[in-house]
Amino acid sequence: MLLIRNGYMIDPGSGREGKLDILTEGDRILRIGPGLEAPGPGCQVIDAQGLFAAPGLVDVHVHFRDPGFPQKEDISTGAAAAARGGYTTVVMMANTNPPIDNRDTLRSVLEKGRGTGIHVYACANVTMGMRGKELVPMEELAQLGAVGFTDDGVALLDGDLARRAMECAAVLDMPISFHEEDPALIDNNGINRGKASAHFGIGGSPREAEIRLVERDLKLALETGADINIQHISARESVELVRRARAQAGNIHAEATPHHFALTEEAVIRYKTLAKMNPPLREEEDRLAIIRGLADGTIDIIATDHAPHTKEEKEKPITEAPSGIIGLETALPLAVTYLVEAGHLTMGQLLRLMSANPAKLYHLDAGYLAEGGPADIVLIDPGAEFIPESYASKSANTPFTGWKLRGRVVRTIAGGKTVYGGL
């Protein structure tokens, strides 16, 4: 048993918050209330004075590179990075090698995930081999444990195929997520077409590459009723398109990454390949539009798009280095610093974006604190300085190393067991 005392509990699912103690037994929460006493000498007591007690964070967009690229990350090290960042539940993307378009690969990654100490789920692909030609056996993969579908990493260009995929996902009542970048409009991806691309003397990725596909997929979602997630939104026009679509129906969802609400294309000029990502960092007006979208509920999920790469890969020239940065260990401090301390969100609103909302979309038993609910809890010191210097991830490809941020994960508890930290 575990008793967390004297913390300020925030449950973003119900909106309940206050000075409340939490008693767990096994992997569930037994009681929540003021002034709880330890039921016996075998109960571990944690004094959380001055800390927030919140549901373990939920990230529905991570790349653990397993199978296929273990030198970048594997499921074990990815889970360790997640735990250090306060995450107790993650959803792997399916662009592994081989991709998660078949029962054997899906079973393998889920089995590895069960040995990590946190809850590791996986999406299956939308199309076989991520080639955009033939749908995967969606019903079969759903029955085997996939929690959603995505070809993240590449765009699904065939509109008719996208419609059929949405129709199937709607029947299965499962989310389908879209990477929205039309390669026909892009010359050297990962860098915004504008000031950054001009600096490097390359073509770059124009905002229209995202806007075109966002517009198409929102229209299809409204017609099919599928729960869709517009992944890692980057352009202000895309935010406005989502805002209008959400006003029409409740099946429209969008996610923003910490790097897109914290950085602009100026960071690519400064940090070069460490700030190269798909979709790229854009202009200050886009960053502010994303923050407004998070504040007014247009964007209802914060996801990291944790994308580890080796040092050698990121040291290649700007046009050759792969896109992506790690994010699990810096996401919460960046969100506290740029959203809460900056006055855009309350801590409760932030936690809803980072736990309750993503868990609800993916039908996961996570993202809330309640008697009988999962004993997945993160203790956060919101005022503590956090300077990322080393990582539990195998990779360190991030521009945020050495930054002075606010908000530190003190302890992460998954299934009633401490998986990171202590007091």
Q: At what angle do helices 208-224 and 159-172 cross, to 10 degrees?
A: 50
Q: Is 305 an active-site residue?
A: yes
Instruction: State the pairing for strand pair 8-11/16-19.
Output: antiparallel
Alpha-carbon distance of 140 to 120, in angstroms, equals 19
Asked if residue 354 lies in contact with residue 255, where contact means CB atoms within 8 angstroms, the answer is: no
Cα(348)–Cα(8) distance, integer angstroms: 11
Q: How far is CA 204 from CA 174, 281, 414, in A?
A: 34, 11, 42
Q: Which of 66, 74, 101, 305 is catalytic?
A: 305
The Cα 9–Cα 19 span in angstroms is: 6
What is the 3-class SS of the chain, one letter each residue?
CEEEECCEEEECCCCEEEECEEEEECCEEEEEECCCCCCCCCCEEEECCCCEEEECEEEEEECCCCCCCCCCCCHHHHHHHHHHCCEEEEEECCCCCCCCCCHHHHHHHHHHHCCCCCEEEECECCEHHHCCCCECCHHHHHHCCCCCEECCCCCCCCHHHHHHHHHHHHHHCCCEEECCCCHHHCECCCCECCHHHHHHCCCEECCHHHHHHHHHHHHHHHHHCCCEEECCCCCHHHHHHHHHHHCCCCCEEEEECHHHHHCCCHHHHHHHHHHCCCCCCCCHHHHHHHHHHHHHCCCCEECCCECCCCHHHHCCCCCCCCCCCCCCCCHHHHHHHHHHCCCCCCHHHHHHHHHHHHHHHCCCCCCCCCCCCECCEEEEEEEEEECCCCCCCCCCCCCCCCCCEEEEEEEEEECCEEEEECC
Q: What is the set of active-site residues?
A: 305
